[in-house]
Amino acid sequence: MTGRSAFVVVANRLPVDEEVTSDGRRWRASPGGLVTALSPVARAHRGAWVGWGGAADSAPEPFDHEGIRLHPVRLSTADIDGFYEGQSNSTIWPLYHDAVEPPSYDRTWSDAYRIVNARFAEAAATVAARGATVWVHDYQLQLVPAMLRAKRPDLRIGFFLHIPFPPIELFMQMPLRAEILRGLLGADLVGFQQKLAAQNFVRLARHLLDLRYSGMTIDVDGRAVKAGAFPISIDPKEMERLAATDEIRVRARQIRTELGNPRTLILGVDRLDYTKGIELRLDAFRELLEDGTLTVPETTLVQVATPSRERVEHYETLRTRVEREVGRINGDFSRVGIPAVHYLHQSYSRAELAALYCAADVMMVTPLRDGMNLVAKEYVAARIDHGGALVLSEFAGAANELRHAFLCNPHDLDAVKGALMQAISVGPSDGRRRMQIMQRYLRTHDVDRWGRSFLEILQASEGGA
Ligand code: ADQ
């Protein structure tokens, strides 16, 4: 594959992880929704992908991987500090998640963000063919659409934000607010997980830049910029296939045996992130053990928490708090050889995740705020036996779609406890009915539909000059 591409994905990370083996360096497709969603689209368009390879100060020459041309962008250690850990994960991430932890602001981070966004825009401009479609992703790259348009007015540019977009009052805190808004408005189509987020965006354009809008289309100096909701999804067939294998069925039973065959197995699977509501889940569980509503060993909680952003301060302190609380619950309620909480600070294969999903009676997904939350969708897809029950925070994007989960307000501990108890005690026919309805929904609202619906609207937009 040579030359420029008619379809380019731009994301913070490339869709591959580097593996160092005894024979040298090798690239392996990285797991995750974004890669599963976009790789087939990029491949079908003989497309390119611009992103960081994951190692500091290293950017190999462009190379092909499974039919996609990959263009690594170099990030230095200082870039990672200021752009990624600073502006992206200590300013924008908390601010866009309702400031559930206070955002930090630092002028040097803003500079790093500008510089790195310019580097991504430059790389995309070099890679894109004349009139190409470029799809930029997520909160790390919000300046890229305008920077790219300035260099390449011929392109059709789409942007998708995977996390929530905050209401005006919160967004206005950000020193970089006007620049970020103008950056996003460089796109022809700006996609969000939820309608509310898209509405926040068009209102902000009027409030901050005095731009007119009609419906969900903003007039930016005579150019039409559309905003819309495109709730991301999963490939439910992947989980269904895994759950149907003998290997996973056996492993699910084995997990329950290893846990001492509890009557009720409660599961949480999250990146270890303060937005995910891991602590409140532990609080709910502890209170239910304290008042005797739940007992050990009849009930066990397994919390899988993938290591994440460990060099960012909020994440370090969260880890300490979670581990202290797990220790406290176990100290008070475990029996010899039978812990109340199994806490696993590890990453797992898709197969092991599928087995955990199949083994769990209740899945707790309780973020304080989440763009979508794919774990909730994966759990539902994995339950081909129509068993299990999902407790889901109203503040996850997924709650707009998975209406038959046991929904709760994560800021109300009694409501969380109530939803958990309802899920534990749901009758088999009601439980089955709820699962079936949610599964039917996921089959028709899969990740393929997400990608197609975004790109169809993008193709129908005015596009470049
Ligand atoms: P995340 O905040 O990372 O994504 P989520 O949507 O739940 O959150 O996706 C996590 C993914 O990681 C899932 O596919 C899950 O299976 C996987 N995972 C979690 N724990 C794991 C473990 N221990 N081992 C292996 N895999 C694990 C952001 C937004 C979300 C939005 C997605 C996609 O914050 O709101 O849904 O992007 O747009």
pLDDT computed for residue 59 by the predictor:
85
User: For residue range 74-124, what is the model confidence (pLDDT) as tens digits?
Assistant: 999 999 999 999 999 999 999 999 999 999 999 999 999 999 999 999 999
- What positions carry a catalytic annotation? 162, 370
Taking the CA atoms of residue 254, residue 351, residue 233 and residue 158 in that order, the dihedral angle to the nearest 10 degrees is 160
Distance, CA 440 to ligand 1 centroid (Å)?
A: 22
pLDDT at position 310 is 85
Nearest ligand 1 atom, CA 348:
24
Closest ligand 1 atom to 232 CA:
38
Q: 121: CA distance to ligand 1 center in Å?
A: 26
SS3 percent helix, strand, coil of the chain, rounded to 5, is 45, 20, 30
Distance, CA 462 to ligand 1 centroid (Å)? 33
Nearest atom (ligand 1) to Cα of 396: 35
Cα dihedral 55, 58, 62, 67, rounded to 10, equals -20
| The pLDDT value given to residue 1 | 44
Q: Does residue 201 contact residue 227 with C-beta atoms inside 8 Å? A: yes
CA 421 to chain centre: 27
Instruction: Decide: 375 in ligand 1 pocket, CB within 6 A.
Output: yes
Q: Is the CB of 11 under 6 A from ligand 1?
A: no
pLDDT digits (tens, 9 = 90+) for 323-342: 999 999 999 999 999 999 99
Indicate which residue's Cα is closest to atom 12 of ligand 1: 32
Tell me the best of 342, 374, 375 to mutate to test the pocket of ligand 1, counting ligand atoms within 8 Å of each CB and taking the most: 374
Q: Does the Cβ of 238 fall within 6 Å of ligand 1? A: no
User: What's the whole-model pTM score?
Assistant: 0.96
Each residue of 212-270: pLDDT tens digit?
A: 999 999 999 999 999 999 999 999 999 999 999 999 999 999 999 999 999 999 999 99
The enclosing H or E element of 324 equals helix 313-333
- How sure is the predictor about 2, in pLDDT bands with cuts at 50, 70 and 90? low
Q: Is the CB of 442 under 6 A from ligand 1?
A: no
Q: Which residue CA neighbors atom 15 of ligand 1 most closely?
A: 375
User: What value does the mean pLDDT of the chain take?
Assistant: 95
